[in-house]
Amino acid sequence: MACQSALIRKDDAAKTGQQNLAGAIMPPFAVLSGVTLLRLNLMKLPLGLLATVLVSAAYATPLSECLGYAPADKVLIVNADDLGMHPELDRAAFRLIDKKLIQDISVMPPTPGFAKVAEMAKARGMAVGVHLTLTNEWQEKQPWGAVLPKSEVPSLYNDQGNLWASVDELVKHAKPEEVKREILAQIAKVQAAGLTVTHLDGHMLFWRGSKAFIDIYAGLARETGIPTISQFAGMSFEQQLALNQGIQKDLGVVTPDTFTMLYNPALRRAGMRFPGYDNVLASLPAGVNHLIIHPAEDSPGAREAIADLQLRLSDFDVWNGPEVHKVIQQKKLKLTNYLPLKALQQQVDASPKNCLQGGAR
């Protein structure tokens, strides 16, 4: 893993990462902590938080109380990712939504399937997140470029007319002003489709790739009024809670308290239920927790186009089955979506003295 990109990449996580007890892929801590030290000042977080990160027990940020929950409540949002990338991903996610087994979805505006996904979401009266997409790891198997034409954002395109295949390539070639222009165009495209946007996150965690990308991403919530997910994948819950409290209070960003993504293709086996989500749910801290999943259904077309299909089939089987939902009930997790966080973001933007800063709740 290259330190300069500070990225947990889907294509190399299994080769370079370390496993935690939940089965998640985590980067070597020295890499992540070094990046955190380097960039905390960019996000205007007090460096003193690092000492707290290393020694603190799990505790809730003010966020859950601002949303009306008790301090000890464990709140969960399960979000299906990558919608628009392939029809089998879309069908799987909406099956889980229709059965009320998950709470949320994120769409990829540049993908060929976006228009169909937008129709499916509108038919259900759903608000959506925007999975800001500046790379295309699939290239010829699933080609897509940017929302804006190459004439407007030439640095985002490779010679094949697609977005760059990796974050490393994106960092090397993309001009920050064109990155921001494309990000805003993607948000606008989703809104123009008649959808309410409740949150933003980054495909392939692209924003962690450079100082310029972090600066752009960190400013999106204030600029757009839409909560932005910090995506501190690979950090412990205690570390995330400490860092996110600073982001919530100092930047006024209504980001969840924790973010979990179990992207570990090497651990998934056909016919074997993956227990990692049970372990994560059993260990969630008090606060608002975002869990991202990548469900898909099977088909010959999916087998041809999706290199990590087994992981996605595994995710669908887990969340379509009863066991994981029994854990949710046993642990008394409270389920929500991003609409309350979007409303809170608007309140925070309207008042310099707000709930996240210790104001009236």
Distance CA 319, CA 141 (A): 27
Q: How far apart are the first and last CA of the chain?
A: 43
Mean pLDDT over 101-109 rounds to 98
DSSP codes of every residue in 216-255: HHHTHHHHHS--B----TTS-HHHHHHHHHHIIIII----
pLDDT digits (tens, 9 = 90+) for 55-87: 343 456 899 999 999 999 999 999 999 999 999
pLDDT of residue 183: 98
CA neighbor of 263 nearest in space, from 7, 86, 61, 74: 7
pLDDT over 90, % of the chain: 77
Cα separations (Å) of 98 from 74, 116, 170, 316? 24, 16, 36, 14
pLDDT of residue 48: 45
- φ, ψ of residue 199 to 5 degrees: the values are -165, 160
Which residue ranges form the domains of the chain, and what is each CATH number? 13-50+60-351 (3.20.20.370)
CA neighbor of 127 nearest in space, from 67, 190, 201: 190
3-state secondary structure of 12: coil
Mean pLDDT over 268-272 rounds to 94
Angle, in degrees to the nearest 10, between helices 176-192 and 211-218: 30
Q: Which two tokens stand for residue 100?
A: 């009320």
Burial class (CB within 10 angstroms; exposed 0-12, middle 13-18, buried 19+) of 304:
exposed
pLDDT digits (tens, 9 = 90+) for 128-173: 999 999 999 989 888 999 999 999 999 999 999 999 999 999 999 9
Cα separations (Å) of 76 from 45, 56, 85, 236? 25, 22, 25, 17
pLDDT of residue 17: 30
Conformation bin of residue 220: beta by default, left when phi > 0, alpha when psi is -120 to 50: alpha
Alpha-carbon torsion, ordered 221, 224, 225, 227, to 10 deg? -40
**Longest Cα separation, the chain:** 55
The contacts of residue 205 (CB under 8 Å, 6+ apart) are 7, 8, 9, 167, 231, 233
Distance CA 247, CA 43 (A): 7
Average pLDDT, the chain: 85
Mean pLDDT over 341-352 rounds to 92
DSSP codes of every residue in 70-128: -TT-EEEEEEEEEETS-HHHHHHHHHHHHTTS--EEEE-TTSTTHHHHHHHHHHTT--E
Query: What's the Rg (C-alpha) of the chain?
Result: 19
pLDDT at 22 over 50: no
Model pTM score: 0.85
Distance CA 48, CA 197 (A): 34
Contact 73, 334 (CB under 8 A): yes
Distance CA 252, CA 232 (A): 17
pLDDT of residue 60: 67
DSSP codes of every residue in 66-78: HTT--TT-EEEEE
> How long, in residues, is the chain?
361
